[in-house]
Amino acid sequence: MIKRAIISGGGTGGHIFPAVAIADELKRRNPDIDILFVGAEGKMEMEKIPEAGYNIIGLPISGLQRSLTWSNVLFPVKVIRSYLKARNVIKDFKPDVVVGVGGYASWPTLAAATHAGVPTLIQEQNSYAGLANKRLARKVDRICVAYDGMEKFFPAEKISLTGNPVRDDLLGEASKEEARRFFGLDENRATIFIFGGSLGAGTLNKSVENAAELLGEQTDVQIIWQIGKFYADRYMNGKAASLKQVAATVFVDRMDLAYTAADLVICRAGALTISELSFLGKAAILVPSPNVAEDHQTKNAEFLVNRKAAIMIRDTEAENSLMKSALQIIHDKGKLKDLGTEALKLAKPRASADIVNEIMRLIKK
């Protein structure tokens, strides 16, 4: 039995959701466990983790900026302060295990835990390991990964291929026809779902808007278009959003229904999104974001492309070619089926349970 656990990391939903999923599974198996999260002050986790029902402590850590700023000058000071605070948190809380999921807060917390001799595990969501996890690899006890071939980043004897946790509620009970009616669409038309996260993705949105005339000519294809709150004013009243075959929305509350309705998904290539596509066996066109550390989204997308489980279009090419390619693929039922079948082969539906199994083995040792 585990009495106390710390889970650290965050910064994006791709880090936060796996962290919560791991916590939920730990709680399910150990109902009396006390779980404490450690995040970065001012980041998304400081709001999302309490909403999930868990306590969180923030560290004064932040990332390095690309240009010379006062934030960069103060970075070493923030790292030292964060490490000292993390060390005190571990000393006071006395965890049986510390889990890192990547993000700014993960490094000082896990570094302090390894120094204190506490059992440690990190979970790497991407096919290209993050800087914090690469630095921690030699010191932690176990490393859970979502992709094959991670030996180039981590000691092979520490690796366990578990996959990324995926929300069970994505497997809804609605039929494809019911899901399409939910979005006010024709229940029999081929459907594309395009989304860029809660804030939206500029390239994806511009690709749809640029193709408004082409989309208006389609009589057998329709689109669910999640624009995102950052781009809502620019595109919600535009040409593409006004088309009857386009269901434009700022935010999608029912991702389960959007996925169910779709024959083809167009999106970025974040680790969590890719895990969802694989879990559901969805044909997809991936447009990796160029604005991420070490271009890891391209590495994620290439992993699927090399296994014939997705199509990739680069961000610089998408505005002019994305929707043309999507319309070609949506009419190729054989291609759609093959992409979905290969994606499903990569799914790891027991990821949360398998990660917690590794945690439990650490405690037994």
190 and 162 share one domain: no
Structure confidence at residue 101 (pLDDT):
93
Structural domain that includes position 50? 4-166+349-364
Distance CA 306, CA 286 (A): 13
Q: Are 176 and 249 members of one domain?
A: yes
**Same domain, residue pair 176 and 323:** yes
Handedness of CA 129, 130, 133, 134 (dihedral sign): positive
Q: State whether 122 and 222 are in the same domain.
A: no
> CA 20, 48, 150 angle in degrees (round to 5)?
45
Residues 178 and 302 in one domain: yes
Token representation of residue 356: 């917690």
Q: DSSP secondary-structure letter at 172?
A: -
Average model confidence (pLDDT) across the chain: 92
- Based on the fold, state whether residues 24 and 85 are members of the same structural domain: yes
Same-domain check for residues 250 and 302? yes
Least confident of 66-80, 193-207, 246-260, 310-324: 66-80
146 in the same domain as 195: no
Question: Domain count of the chain?
Answer: 2
* CA separation for the pair 354, 111 (Å, rounded): 24
Q: Is 262 helix (H, G, I), strand (E, B) or coil?
A: coil
Question: Which residues are CB-neighbours of 128 under 8 A, at least 6 positions away?
Answer: 153, 294, 295, 296, 299, 300
Of 38-47, 115-124, 184-193, minimum mean pLDDT range:
38-47
178 plus 326 within the same structural domain: yes
pLDDT score for 72: 58
Query: What is the predicted pLDDT for the residue at 172?
Result: 79
Same domain, residue pair 208 and 291: yes
